[in-house]
Amino acid sequence: MTGDSMVLSARRVRKQFGALVALDDVDLDVAEGSVVAIIGPSGSGKSTLARCIHQLERIDAGAIYLDGELLGFEHKSGKLLPLRDRDLSRQRAQMGMVFQQFNLFSHYTILENLIEGPTRVLGVPRKEAEEKARALLARVRLSDKVDAYPRHLSGGQQQRAAIARALANEPRLMLFDEPTSALDPELVGEVLEVMQDLAAGGMTMVIVTHEMSFARDVADRIVFMEAGRIVKEGTPKEIFGAPPESRLGRFLATSGVALTSPEATLAD
């Protein structure tokens, strides 16, 4: 029931902002090593879902489990209570989050950005953390930017560094909230490439994205959200085969990419 076989499972999750219901009875399962893409129109609750999973927002009802461990709450002397700040932080550290705006710490060099989590949260010795950080930066091809400040990197480089920072805690799950939406078109590719490498390496990932062709090529499952609910969920084939007159079909048509790109016709 707690979804032991799953890295992540969300059960009947509800989130409200005042009267607005941002998430309405959402169920989501993410299996080990799988990639789940979340798509849907603006305001449908995609970011809210990612932020609730990552415990950046507290849910109002339902439950979320990471490796079977309840997130955000604990049982204490028979009562269910919200977790204390320290324990919440420990849980957050088990998940990596990549934001649309990169959010690298502007007063730290790239290397310092990467070691902050491991040294401050996980208690890894500085030398060891630095070694690992350098290896990660090599993996996202930023070895020459180790001592640079974020301001002096291009958007694509910043986002790759942000991915490396999220990986530094060795998370069980990586969450991406529209990681390429703030990038110039010519920089999107280098970030998607890094994400594709991660997926190929077996990382469990949840990706909120408007990049339909990327979702189609990399995701194992695609989740379509609308008005705070998961309306449809399936393999890329099932999702992109939606009848054009359905709500999903109409959303895909307005998103363009998928139905008109040459690879789509090749794959079918």
Partner 1 sequence: MAIATDMGGAARRPLPADDASLAIRRDRIGRIVVGALVFGLLAWLVLAAAANPRFEWDVVARYFTAQAVMNGLMTTLYLTLVIFVFSLVIGTLLALARESAYRPFQILAWVYSWVFRSVPALVQLIFWFNLAYIIPSISLGLPFGPTLFEARVNDLISPFLAAVLGLGLGEAAYKSEIIRAGLMSVDKGQREAARAIGLTGPQTFFRIVIPQSMRFILPPLGNQTILNLKGTSLVSVIALSDLLHSVQSIYNRTLEVVPLLMVATLWYLIIVSIMSVIQIGIERHFSRGHGASRAIKAVEGRIEA
Site for partner 1 in 77-96 (CB under 8 A): 85-86, 89-90, 92-93, 96
Task: Rule CB under 8 A: say whether 149 interacts with partner 1.
Answer: yes
- What, of partner 1, ligand ATP, Mg ion, none, does residue 17 touch, CB below 5 to 8 Å by kind? ligand ATP
DSSP character string of 5-33? TEEEEEEEEEEEETTEEEEEEEEEEEETT
Could you give the CA distance from residue 132 to residue 114 in angstroms, rounded to a whole number?
Answer: 9
- What, of partner 1, Mg ion, ligand ATP, none, does residue 166 touch, CB below 5 to 8 Å by kind? partner 1
Instruction: Give the nearer residue to ligand ATP in terms of CB position, either 40 or 118.
Output: 40
Member of 1, 42, 106, 107 binding ligand ATP (CB under 6 A): 42
For the chain, the 3-state helix, strand and coil shares in percent, each to the nearest 5, are 40, 25, 35
Largest CA distance in the chain: 59
- What, of partner 1, Mg ion, ligand ATP, none, does residue 151 touch, CB below 5 to 8 Å by kind? partner 1
Task: Rule CB under 6 A: say whether 22 interacts with ligand ATP.
Answer: yes
Could you give the CA distance from residue 70 to residue 88 in angstroms, rounded to a whole number?
Answer: 11
Residue 235 Cβ vs ligand ATP, minimum distance, rounded to whole Å? 22
Measured in degrees and rounded to the nearest 5, phi and psi for residue 46 equal -65, -50
Site for partner 1 in 95-124 (CB under 8 A): 96-97, 99, 101, 103-109, 116-117, 120-122
Helix axes 126-139, 110-120, angle to 10 degrees: 130
Residue 121 Cβ vs partner 1, minimum distance, rounded to whole Å? 4
Contacts 24+ apart (CB under 8 A), 57-60: 57/15, 58/82, 59/13, 59/14, 59/15, 59/23, 60/14, 60/15, 60/16
> Is residue 38 a contact partner of residue 206, using CB atoms and an 8 Å limit?
yes
Task: Rule CB under 6 A: say whether 180 interacts with ligand ATP.
Answer: no
Task: Rule CB under 5 A: say whether 119 interacts with Mg ion.
Answer: no
- What, of partner 1, Mg ion, ligand ATP, none, does residue 29 touch, CB below 5 to 8 Å by kind? none
Member of 9, 34, 44, 204 binding ligand ATP (CB under 6 A): 44
